[in-house]
Amino acid sequence: MWRLLAVFLVLVGLLGAARDTVLFDTDSGLFGDDGAALVMLLRSPAQVAVQAISIVPGNVWAPQGAEYMFHILSLLKRAQTTVAMGADGPLIHTAAMARESERRWGALSYIGAFAQDAAAVIPAPGSKLSARKPRHDAVNLLISEIERHPGEVTILALGPMTNIALALRLKPEIETKIKRIVFMGGNIRVAGNASNAAEFNFWFDPEAARIVLRSRIPLKTMFGLDICNLARIRKPEFDQIAAVRTPLTELFREDLGNRYPAFLKKPDATGYLWDSLAAAYLLDPDFVTRSESRYLDVQTSWGQFYGSTVPLDRRVAPEATPVTVMFALDFKRVFALYKDRLTRLD
Ligand code: RIB
Ligand code: CA
C-alpha cells in the first residue's frame, strides 16, 4: 500500500515537473489564431498549466480582447482562469501614425485595433456581455508570476509585446528568471502582413518588440511569417473542423467562416495558423523541421520599414541573447494536433 502511494506521488511529481508553466499574452479577436491557441493549451492539461492570460492591444483594443477571452473561457468551462489587461496601447505607435504612414508611403494591409473605436466593447455573436471583469494589472501579474516561479515560466507571446516590454523595463531582473519566451511575430526572408516590410505584431509595437529581442531572456523562440506562411489553412481544413458541431467549433465556424478569412463567403480564401503554431510548439516541438539561431532587432525609425525584423548590432546590446528562428515544419503533423484539440467534445 505504502509502496503504491510512493509510486503515485513520484508520478504526480514527475507529471508536475514536466508541465510547462505558461503565461499567455494575447491580442485575441473573436476566435482566430489566438483563441485556437488558448483552446489547444487548455485542452492539454498534462503538458501545460496556463497560470494567467494577459491581454494586449493588437487585433482589437484590450477591453474587447478581454471580452472575447471570457467568452472562449466560458465555452471551455474555465471561467476561473485569471484574465488581466495591461497596456492601453503601444509604447509609441498610434493610429494617427498609421494613417499618416498610409498617406506618405501607401496602403497598409492590416492595422488591427487602429481601425477600431477603443471605447466600444461588443459581446461575441449570440451572447451577452460577460459578467466577469478583467483585472487591470497584467504587467505586475507577469512580474509576480515570474518571480513566484523563477526559471520555470514560459511566456507565450501572441500579440504585440507591449506588456512584456513594460514588465522587463519595470523589473529588469526578471529577464533571467524567465525560462523562455515563445512568440509569434516578425519576418526575415518573406514580406510583411501589416506593411510590406513588417509583420503585424512587430509593426503594431516595434519599440516593445525591440526591448524583448535585446533582452537577456535565456531562450527566445520565434514563429515569424517565414514558418507561419507554410502553415496555411484552406476551406477543406476549415470544413474538417466545422463539421464537428460543438459550441467551440460553432465559434470557430462563425469567426473563420464569416469574418477572417471568411471561408463561407470566399471558398478560395487562405488562413494561417500563426499563434496556434506557437502554441503547438509547447505541446509537440518536433513538428518544427528546421530552425536557425540569429541575433535579431527591430527597425524603430518611423518610415516604410517601421517594425521590420533586422539583424542586431551586438555592440548596442551586448547582453542580448540570440533568437531561435523557426523556418520549416511538418504541416500534417501540426494540423492533426490543431484539429484534435479544436474538435474535442470535452
Ligand atoms: O501576424 C499575425 C499575428 O498578428 C497573429 O498574432 C495575429 O493574431 C495578429 O496578432
Ligand atoms: Ca495574435
For residue 179, the surrounding DSSP H or E stretch is: strand 178-184
CA of 231 to the centre of ligand 1 (A): 13
Rounded Cα–Cα distance for residues 185 and 59 (Å) = 13
Is there an atom of ligand 1 within 6 Å of 200 CB? yes
Read off the pTM.
0.95
What pLDDT sits at residue 159? Answer: 98
Count of other CB atoms within 10 angstroms of residue 104: 10
Give the residue from 82, 86, 89 showing the smallest Cα distance to 132. 82
Is there an atom of ligand 1 within 6 Å of 33 CB? yes
CA of 278 to the centre of ligand 1 (A): 11
Give the residue from 60, 121, 110 showing the smallest Cα distance to 89. 60
Is there an atom of ligand 1 within 6 Å of 201 CB? yes
**Residue 221 DSSP SS3:** strand
Which ligand is located closest to the Cα atom of residue 229? 1
What pLDDT sits at residue 346? Answer: 80
Rounded Cα–Cα distance for residues 188 and 25 (Å) = 23
Atom of ligand 1 nearest to the CA of 272: 2
Which ligand is located closest to the Cα atom of residue 185? 1
Rounded Cα–Cα distance for residues 166 and 44 (Å) = 29
CA of 65 to the centre of ligand 2 (A): 10
State which of 40, 161, 183, 200 you would mutate to test the pocket of ligand 1, scoring each by most atoms of that ligand within 8 A of its C-beta: 200
Atom of ligand 1 nearest to the CA of 158: 6
Cα-based distances in Å from 214 to 54, 165, 173, 275, 308? 22, 10, 14, 22, 15
Cβ neighbors of 86 (< 8 A, separation 6 or more) are: 54, 55, 56, 62, 137, 138, 139, 142, 162, 163, 166
Burial of 96 (0-12, 13-18, 19+ CB in 10 A): exposed
User: What size, in residues, is the chain?
Assistant: 346
Is there an atom of ligand 1 within 6 Å of 193 CB? yes
Is there an atom of ligand 1 within 6 Å of 297 CB? no
Residue with cell 515544419: 329
Domain boundaries, the chain: 19-343
Architecture of the structural domain at 19-343: Alpha-Beta Complex (3.90)
Helical segments of the chain, H only: 2-18, 32-42, 62-75, 95-105, 138-148, 162-170, 200-204, 206-213, 225-228, 235-242, 247-258, 275-283, 331-342
Atom of ligand 1 nearest to the CA of 184: 6
Atom of ligand 1 nearest to the CA of 59: 10
Is there an atom of ligand 1 within 6 Å of 32 CB? yes
pLDDT tens track, the chain, 346 positions: 555 555 545 454 544 457 999 999 999 999 999 999 999 999 999 999 999 999 999 999 999 999 999 999 999 999 999 999 999 999 999 999 999 999 999 999 999 999 999 999 999 999 999 999 999 999 999 999 999 999 999 999 999 999 999 999 999 999 999 999 999 999 999 999 999 999 999 999 999 999 999 999 999 999 999 999 999 999 999 999 999 999 999 999 999 999 999 999 999 999 999 999 999 999 999 999 999 999 999 999 999 999 999 999 999 999 999 999 999 999 999 999 999 999 999 8
